[in-house]
Chains A and B, each alone.
Chain A
Amino acid sequence: MSAAMLRCWIYRKLLTAHLEESLPGVLCQTVSRHMASCADCEEQWQQLRSVSLLLRQLPAPAVPPDLELQIRLRLSRERRRSQQPSWSWRWGNLLSPFALPGAAGVLLAVVIFGAFFPLLNQPVRADSSDVPLTLRTPPRLRSSGPISLNSSMEGLVVQLLVDQNGRVADYQILTGNYTSDDVRVLRNLLLFTVFYPATLFGHPMPDTIVFPLRDVSDQTFLSKNAG
């Protein structure tokens, strides 16, 4: 690049500022002197000035007469929209009449549920009529005859063989003092005494029990041969 071309390149960088009249006085005069002596730079400057003038001479587009009206209408709609209550406020306003009845209803439901829940949720208890499911159960006293025992007989302990129908099939006195009359009374008592038979896997079967006679009065017995 020659010195003249370099000088022109520098001056052309200043042409825009010269066009804007924003160069300092001395620099502005220097650029003007250069353009007076350089036809190319002068042409560049004239072209830039022409471009600027052409732009400024472009006619202003005609503004639609109803533009302001349209803008005001749109702003009016926007203002009305912004002044409308929010959806949360609307829902709150809509539901507020139902708030008290609703709350009362919920409270009542909770009270009723709390009152009846214990009844609905009672623990399951074993029924006395349930059949024991253990492997083997001993005979149990079901009923006895209406025979009164004297005091000496209440001390007797007998071993009984109870068949699968709950009837006493045989007996043997294990302990106690007794007379022949006591044996007769005992036979009569055992004749009218009924047991729940012993069971194995739920099926009745004959079995023996040790039976104190004093337990007949309170309908209890001890099964010493169970197990």
Chain B
Amino acid sequence: MPLFGPMITRPSEEGELALIADLQSGEEEAFNRLIAQYAPSIYRVAYRLLNDPADASDTAQEVFLRVFRGIGRFQNHCSLKTWIYRITVNAVSNQNRWWHRHRAQEISLEAQDNVWVSRHVVGKGRDPFESVLSQETQELVQKALLRLPESARTVLVLREMEGLSYEEVAAILHVSLGTVKSRLARARQALKVELEALLAPVQEPLPAWSPAD
């Protein structure tokens, strides 16, 4: 049994094997099917890890470019899905490194939080109070998630948000199953700590006006 990437991540479906064969023979239709199948999830993962729609879009394009260039060397050691997610995680990691080197000092003219909240309004038909509360909660969770280290954020996104199995996460990150479990436990704990820190009451000076006035 291999150390990383257990046997259950091997492609067992005939459809996937046929798709891989078509991709390796360079069929354009096969690439179109691959894009339709994986582009939304790749974009979601990149967005959740980078928190920038433009960067997420660039990363998704970069991922498929790497798939196009590397599909000839793909040898079915893992499933196509695992391989594409691994490329995505690596591309995001490279993007983060580039961001820290080049853009860390830049200040965006957009207020990211407001953009995020306005873009992801949920429950439009619900009670406005509940809607706002839900938005604020989601905003807090997203903010806490972004404050986590990259490795913790990655494992949480892959497991909790994308719903991948432990084995798939282990194969994507190229670590053992036990490492995934311990990383996930630490990441949840860290996220809880970050949320507690964000929810802690801010020590502000007393207002100048009081009801006694």
* CB of A218, distance to nearest CB on chain B (Å): 95
Q: Is the CB of A72 within 8 A of B57?
A: no
Q: Is the CB of A47 within 8 A of B192?
A: yes
B156 at the binding interface (Cβ < 8 Å): yes
* CB of B61, distance to nearest CB on chain A (Å): 5
Binding stretch for chain A, among B62-70, B73-81, B97-105, B200-208: B62-70
B86 at the binding interface (Cβ < 8 Å): no
Q: Is the CB of B160 within 8 A of A52?
A: yes
Task: Tell me which residues across on chain B come within 8 A of A51, comparing CB atoms.
Answer: 188, 191-192, 195
Q: Interface extent on B, as a size class?
A: 35 or more
Distance between Cα atoms of A221 and B61 in the complex (Å): 105
Q: Which of A120-156 contact B (CB under 8 A)?
A: none
B39 at the binding interface (Cβ < 8 Å): yes
Distance between Cα atoms of A48 and B36 in the complex (Å): 35
* CB of B182, distance to nearest CB on chain A (Å): 9
Q: Which of A46-76 contact B (CB under 8 A)?
A: 47-48, 51-52, 54-64, 67-68, 70-72, 74-75
Q: Is the CB of A59 within 8 A of B120?
A: yes
Closest-by-CB residue of A relative to B40 is: A63
Distance between Cα atoms of A62 and B65 in the complex (Å): 22
A17 at the binding interface (Cβ < 8 Å): yes
Closest-by-CB residue of B relative to A56 is: B160
Q: Is the CB of B156 within 8 A of A62?
A: no
Distance between Cα atoms of A68 and B39 in the complex (Å): 7
Q: Is the CB of A61 within 8 A of B160?
A: no
A170 at the binding interface (Cβ < 8 Å): no
Q: Which of A16, A61, A74 contacts B64 (CB 8 A)?
A: A74
Binding stretch for chain A, among B43-51, B88-96, B125-133, B168-176: B43-51
Task: Tell me which residues across on chain A come within 8 A of B43, comparing CB atoms.
Answer: 61, 63-64, 67
Q: Is the CB of A64 within 8 A of B57?
A: yes
Task: Tell me which residues across on chain B come within 8 A of A58, comparing CB atoms.
Answer: 48, 138, 141-142, 161
Q: Is the CB of A55 within 8 A of B60?
A: no
Distance between Cα atoms of A60 and B138 in the complex (Å): 11
Q: Is the CB of A57 within 8 A of B39?
A: no
10 contacts between A and B (CB under 8 A): A16-B181, A55-B160, A55-B161, A56-B160, A58-B142, A61-B47, A61-B119, A70-B61, A74-B64, A79-B28
**Interface residues in chain A, defined as those with a beta carbon under 8 Å from any beta carbon in chain B:** 16-17, 47-48, 51-52, 54-64, 67-68, 70-72, 74-75, 78-79
